[in-house]
Structure formats: structure tokens, C-alpha cells
Chains A and B, each alone.
Chain A
């Protein structure tokens, strides 16, 4: 099953609702293109909702990191919302849990974006 992405705007923040797998050849490229497109349009405050992401591999983790750094390099912020246990565990193992700003509540996540 490939990944699906839907986009919505809340209070100046672009929320990408992702579902499925973020893996090499499946979701990784879709995620990269979606974030590139947003940054190209000047949407620099991005919240990735991972509540429905049931699987991510090292390629997908790398894509999250690349999205984070690409957004930051353009003066924006990228945060993560609602990690599943598997994704949470993988980010802890790879010591990325402290790199990302991760929230469980959407309203709280939107509130802490500094630019909006």
C-alpha cells in the first residue's frame, strides 16, 4: 500500500495528513515532492500528521529529516504530529526524537509555530 497525502490549512500552518507507508519507492518520494511544492509556494510552516502512518523505513526517516532541514533552511518550521508507537520507537532509537518538535495535540502544535 502506498502513502496518501492530503493537505489543509489551519491558522497559517499547512497540515499534511499522511497515511500508509513511508518507505523507499513508496511514500518517500511523495513526501519529498509535497514538501518541496509547499516550500516553493512559500508555505514554510508545515505540520506532518503521522497518525495514520503505520510503517516507515530508514529511507522514510531520512526523508523526514531532509524535509525538516529543507524547511529550516528556508526560514520555516516543520513539526510532527501524533506519532504511532512504531514511528515513535524508531525516532527514539535513531535519536531523532529530540531533533523534531513532536506534538500529540493538533491545536497545541499549531499554537507553537512562531511565524504563522
Chain B
């Protein structure tokens, strides 16, 4: 049996922390090890920061939504904003030598490093990021 829950939240750092906590709880309940829990929690936090900061630019009129699902074979987390839309193809490579000393621009790279699949979907308006971590047979189907 799968489980799913979702939130609609203000564009604030409190929302980022709430989404982060929810991701940690989902990962813990799914029987993942400490490193995997850290990776998922961090990836989801980065996605929430992106939505609040870069997507909605802290606009109090705009909301972010976060949904969390254990499908039985994967953890699927979707984070969406109501911003102007993010084209991942336009992002500079943060590990290219010319960008290494940049003070920002590593969030999406970290998300991609820590999750098995990352999908971008342009909404009108906004962006939805889908983060997927596959579960192996030893992990719980919460």
C-alpha cells in the first residue's frame, strides 16, 4: 500500500523547514539508511529553497506545494512554485572550472547528485520539480 500527503505553504523559510522535516520523516519511515535519509532530506530542502527563493521570490501572494508519496517501489516528492518558470537547461554547470568559485548555483546540482531521478515540469505559472528515490526490496513499503 502506498501513502501520500501534501502541503500548500507560504513562500517562507518556515515552509522550507516544514518541507524538510516532512521529507526526513518519510525517508525514516521507509527504512532508508542514515546517508540516504540525509541525501533525500537535503535534496528536498534545496528544492523547497528554490521554490520559495528563486521561484516565488518570497512573494506572500504566492504559494508552494509539496507532496510526498511512498509508492511501494519509490519515494516521490513533488515541489512546485508559482514563479516565472525554471528552464534547467539554462543553469550554469557549478563544477565547471570557471564556476567553482561562484557563491551560488549549486542547489539543482546537489538535488541531481542525491536523487535517482529529477524531473522538471513547467507550470503556467511556475515550476514543478519531481524528485524520485528508488527503494530496494529490503526497504519498507510504508
CB <8 Å contact, A94 and B110: yes
Q: Is A63 an interface residue (CB 8 A)?
A: yes
Interface of B is mostly: helix
Known interface pairs A24-B49, A57-B42, A95-B95; A66-B103 also in contact (CB < 8 Å) = yes
If over half of A's interface residues share one DSSP class (helix, strand or loop), that class is named, otherwise mixed; here it is helix
Given A93-B113, A94-B95, decide whether A62 and B13 contact each other with a Cβ distance below 8 A. no
Contact A94 B101 (CB under 8 A): no
Distance (Å) between the CB of B111 and the closest chain A CB? 9
Interface residues on A, range: 20 to 34
Question: Could you tell me which B residues sit within 8 Å of A by CB distance?
Answer: 13, 16, 38, 42, 45-46, 49, 53, 94-95, 100-107, 109-110, 113
The 17 sampled A-B contact pairs (Cβ below 8 Å) are A23-B45, A24-B16, A57-B42, A57-B45, A57-B49, A57-B107, A58-B106, A58-B107, A59-B104, A62-B104, A63-B103, A65-B101, A66-B103, A90-B110, A93-B113, A95-B100, A99-B100
